[in-house]
Amino acid sequence: MKSPEAAPSDTSRFGGNAPATAHADTTSGTLPIRSRVALTMGAFGALTVVACLTAPLVGGTPISLARALDRSIPFANNVDAQIFFIARLPRVLAGALVGSALAAAGVVFQAMLRNPLATPFTLGVSAGSSLGAMIAITFGATFGWGPLSPVPLASLVGASIAASLVYWLATRSGRAISTSVLLLAGVTLNSFFSALIMFVQYVADFARIAAAFRWLMGDLDVGSFEPLWGAMPLLLASYIIFALLPSSLNLLSLGNDAAASRGVDVARAQRLAFISASMATSAAVSIAGPIGFVGIVVPHLVRLIVGVDHRVVLPASALFGATFLVACDVLSRTLFSPVEIPVGVVTALIGGPFFLWLLVRRG
């Protein structure tokens, strides 16, 4: 360790025996934050756009873009156009929105719980969604609302009940949320809802069990833009809040007191983080079911590339999450065509080995 030079200290703002500021310019090797944010958003954004433009062209049935865009052929006869606009485009968009929402929610939950292993599903929001969806599937619910069909609607209702319960449990004891109470409440609710899910599956009949089971594996085949419209209000609201969070997230991850002493309104930041991440998760699950691993693989991958500053990690994860899930969906559609592997299985098959590798790498 170098010992500080005994240079005149009047040029340094804070005194002490230290080299003057001019020498310090060469010490930091990383780019300043403004450049990093611009660079990462540009790079990951470009990647997302490329993914979303090329994914609709790939699939089980070979189609030609020229034919699909050919307006001279009446739409009713143009199978390529039908497949492109009805089957693939909404599906790719769903993949982008769901992947982005889950990745961003993952980042926010990890910061809020001060635990890099937290996922969007840790606090029971997805268990609530799943329970709602299970009940709707099992008992053949038929009541929709606007663009939301029965199962997504039920899953949103389940998610809000779960999130409200966790929120209430965690905020009863005062203003700032203790992360251990939050974690405990979430894990408890997870177990409770999972038990209820098991019970519902038990009383269901076979065709329903198969359908319910299938829903749990995740499915991006939305078939139209309706389910996306239904989830849009929640997604928009959560993204608006996400934009406010990153610097608070950095400070929150130091601890509640450390954050407060640096000017963060801890209670407010925690509430905003919880609400926005829960909304994003609920919306994502209502569209495509609970797709795992996106919320944890993407943030970790992104951190490996861009560092841990949330002002870079959050937007980068939102963008890369979209790319990641769109790519996984392409794999799910094409690997064993014409049979489709559920996209949740693909993300798990990629996520599992990735984590093993991370573990090995850390030694």
Q: Are 92 and 270 in contact (CB under 8 A)?
A: no
Cis previous bond, 19, omega within 30: no
Helix (H) or strand (E) holding 116: none
Q: Count residues binding other proteins (CB under 8 A).
A: 106
Q: Are 253 and 270 in contact (CB under 8 A)?
A: no
Residue 357 makes contact with other proteins by CB under 8 A: no
- In the complex, what is the shortest distance from the CB of residue 105 to other proteins, in angstroms, rounded to a whole number? 16
| Residues 25 to 84 in contact with other proteins, rule: CB under 8 A | 25, 27-30, 32-34, 37, 59-61, 75-76, 79, 82-83
| Residues 74 to 103 in contact with other proteins, rule: CB under 8 A | 75-76, 79, 82-83, 86-88, 91
Residue 184 makes contact with other proteins by CB under 8 A: no
Site string for other proteins, 130-169 (x = CB under 8 A): x------x--xxx-x----xxx------------------
Indicate which single residue of 17, 64, 164, 180 sits in contact with other proteins (rule: CB under 8 A). 17
CA dist., res. 193 & res. 186, Å (int): 10
Decide whether 214 or 236 has the Cβ nearer to other proteins: 214
| Residues 253 to 292 in contact with other proteins, rule: CB under 8 A | 253-255, 257-258, 260-265, 290, 292
Residue 216 makes contact with other proteins by CB under 8 A: yes
Report in angstroms the alpha-carbon separations of 234 from 238, 239, 240. 6, 9, 10
Decide whether 30 or 72 has the Cβ nearer to other proteins: 30
Residue 234 makes contact with other proteins by CB under 8 A: no
Q: Are 322 and 52 in contact (CB under 8 A)?
A: yes
Q: With CA atoms as reference, report the closest residue to 107 among 287, 303, 359.
A: 303
Q: Are 347 and 292 in contact (CB under 8 A)?
A: yes
Q: Are 346 and 333 in contact (CB under 8 A)?
A: no
- In the complex, what is the shortest distance from the CB of residue 6 to other proteins, in angstroms, rounded to a whole number? 11
